[in-house]
Amino acid sequence: MKISDAIFVRGAIDSDGYPKDGHQEIAFIGRSNVGKSSLLNSLLGQRKLARTSNTPGRTQQINFFLINRDFYFVDLPGYGFAKLSKKERETLLLLIEKYLAQRTELVLSILLIDSRHLPTEFDLLMKSWLEEIGRPFLIVLTKSDKLSNNELRNQVGKIKLALGVQDVVTYSSITGSGKDSLWKAILAQISNEKV
Ligand SMILES: Nc1nc2c(ncn2[C@@H]2O[C@H](COP(=O)(O)OP(=O)(O)O)[C@@H](O)[C@H]2O)c(=O)[nH]1
Ligand SMILES: [Mg+2]
């Protein structure tokens, strides 16, 4: 995939802040530290984008990046919650839930889970929301380079079972493994919806 440009367009704290130009959207979801920024950098072949969304103040909003002036990558807030109050957690969860449930431009949601760990209660919650909205989603297991082939195969089996899904894509932002499959899935969904 040739990326001619990736531009940070805006951050939204509610639906009034969403872009209004009607481009299709691919959303990225995951707990903080799962490797979301690294994966975005790796997919886009640049460092600038994810640094932008890690800027303090932007981590608790929905960040929209316009790719090749054609579609958006939507970086949803990480739900790690280490330093957040109960109220802040609830606000964040509501922001994510509303986006997923209401956004008609959303054509594919990508839920990131660390390949080394079983899904957390929040990962399971996100997956149940994705099922509820009945639109395409994909599970990506990050940091696959941290496991041996054997360990990875084992973890893939366990995580699929825990989530009750048939397919996952394994990804490493270090080696680039999984990049072609992930782009293929993204582009298939975009052209699918355009027809
Ligand atoms: N070995 C390895 N480390 C990774 C990978 N992706 C992310 N990391 C590391 O995991 C940490 C969190 O990554 P980051 O992309 O900032 O996560 P985010 O909070 O989800 O945006 C950083 O120290 C990254 O260097 C990967 O594919 N392989
Ligand atoms: Mg990040």
How close is the Cα of 98 to the center of ligand 2, in Å? 21
**Residue 115 resides in a domain:** yes
Question: Which amino acid residue places its CA nearest to atom 10 of ligand 1?
Answer: 35
Q: Give the range of the structural domain holding residue 32, as residue numbers without chain letter.
A: 8-15+22-194
**Residue 39 resides in a domain:** yes
> Residue 155 burial by CB count (10 A; 0-12/13-18/19+): exposed, middle or buried?
buried
Q: What is the pLDDT of residues 65-119, one digit of tens each?
A: 999 999 999 999 998 767 788 888 899 999 999 999 999 999 999 999 999 999 9
**Residue 95 resides in a domain:** yes
pTM metric for this prediction: 0.95
Instruction: Count how many domains the chain has.
Output: 1
**Residue 3 resides in a domain:** no
Closest ligand 1 atom number to CA of residue 38: 15
Crossing angle for the helix pair 121-133 and 86-102, to the nearest 10 degrees: 30
**Residue 133 resides in a domain:** yes
**Residue 2 resides in a domain:** no
Helix, coil or strand: residue 110: strand
How close is the Cα of 45 to the center of ligand 1, in Å? 15
| pLDDT for 93 | 93
| pLDDT for 1 | 79
**Residue 57 resides in a domain:** yes
Q: What is the pLDDT of residues 22-31, one digit of tens each?
A: 999 999 999 9
Tokens of 41: 């950098």
Report whether residue 59 contacts ligand 1, using a CB cutoff of 6 Å. Answer: no
What is the domain-level CATH number for residue 51? Answer: 3.40.50.300
**Residue 86 resides in a domain:** yes
